Amino acid sequence: MTVFVTAGKARTVSTIRLDPRAVLPLHAELYLLAHDDDTGTLLINEQALALGLAGALLLELSHKGHVAIGYIYHSARRQWQTQPGRLTVYRPGPTANPPLDAALAAVTRTVREDRSDDQLRTWLRSFATPDLYERVRAALIAVGLIQRTERRRLGGLVRTETHLPVHYGYAVRARAHIRDAVTHHRQPRRNRHAAPDDECAALCGLIAALELAEFLYDGSLSTTELIQQLWHIVTTHENPAIAAVVQAVDAGRGDLAVAAMR
């Protein structure tokens, strides 16, 4: 039998007053969907999730207008030009969010120091360090989204610390958005759901790239079919930056797999 006890320093649901119906930032939704709702167990490799979290933070910076992905600005011509793989800091911080501030500072360094045509991959590899996962988790604890919980097993003899969301509704809502996006693309003329927005499309892509689709609890499609639908959402979405980042995360995860076999 397993018993969960909220740690003394953790915030409780009653003190933070978060709305389970609210749409969370992309990196927070990805974090929740990468963990088991009941036990807090990480469902994939920690390094792989770090890549996904890095990609999510970069896309948030893009959505908020801080960073342009795949574009450079020519001052003399006073115009933006498409250049895949390049990053441009469009609006410096602060962002009022510690993980985003750290990501933006790292983008600034990469733009300043790396003159290659694939700054995106360079930034992703350098920012997705082993401690990124822990830093994001600490930030989510600080805002009261997740809480430290003590897990007791074997009659209380074995105690380990885990982290659980303060409300299951956040992960349920994120899964519902993904399900609605898949339904929209499968039956665009027959369903009432609107096309997915940038954040939802990005979440679909990151879930596919990190192979988290099997944990979405959607029995209407096989895991293979669901992954295909998620990739379709990304590649047909009107924002090309999302596909670029998701593909970079997918490639980075492939690099991890190759390194693990050596």
Nearest to 207 by CA among 182, 184, 188: 182
Full domain range(s) for residue 154: 3-261
Tokens for 11, please give them.
Answer: 């915030």
144: number of CA atoms within 13 Å, CB side?
10
The CATH number of residue 20's host domain is 1.10.3630
Q: Check residue 8 and give its pLDDT.
A: 33
Q: Check residue 194 and give its pLDDT.
A: 78
List, for residues 65-114, the tens digit of each pLDDT value: 999 999 988 877 888 889 999 999 999 989 989 999 999 999 999 999 99
Q: Which residues of 173-199 are buried (b: 16+ CB within 10 A; e: fewer)?
A: bbbebbbbbbbbbeeeeeeeeeebebb
Domain count, the chain: 1
Position 2 pLDDT exceeds 70 = no
Type of residue found at 240:
P
Considering only 28-32, 112-116, 152-156, 211-215, which range has the smallest mean pLDDT? 152-156
Mean pLDDT of 120-130: 93
Q: Check residue 3 and give its pLDDT.
A: 30
pLDDT bracket for residue 51 (50, 70, 90): very high
Tokens for 34, please give them.
Answer: 């990468």
List, for residues 172-187, the tens digit of each pLDDT value: 999 999 999 999 988 7
Return the C-alpha torsion angle 219, 220, 225, 228, nearest 10. -100
The 3-class secondary structure across 152-196, one letter per residue, is: EECCCCEEEEEEEECCCHHHHHHHHHHHHHHHHHHCCCCCCCCCC
Q: Check residue 155 and give its pLDDT.
A: 62
Considering only 75-89, 127-141, 146-160, 233-247, which range has the smallest mean pLDDT? 146-160
What 8-state DSSP symbol labels residue 36? Answer: -
Q: Which SS3 state, helix, strand or coil, does residue 221 take?
A: coil
Q: Check residue 257 and give its pLDDT.
A: 77
Q: Check residue 190 and give its pLDDT.
A: 63
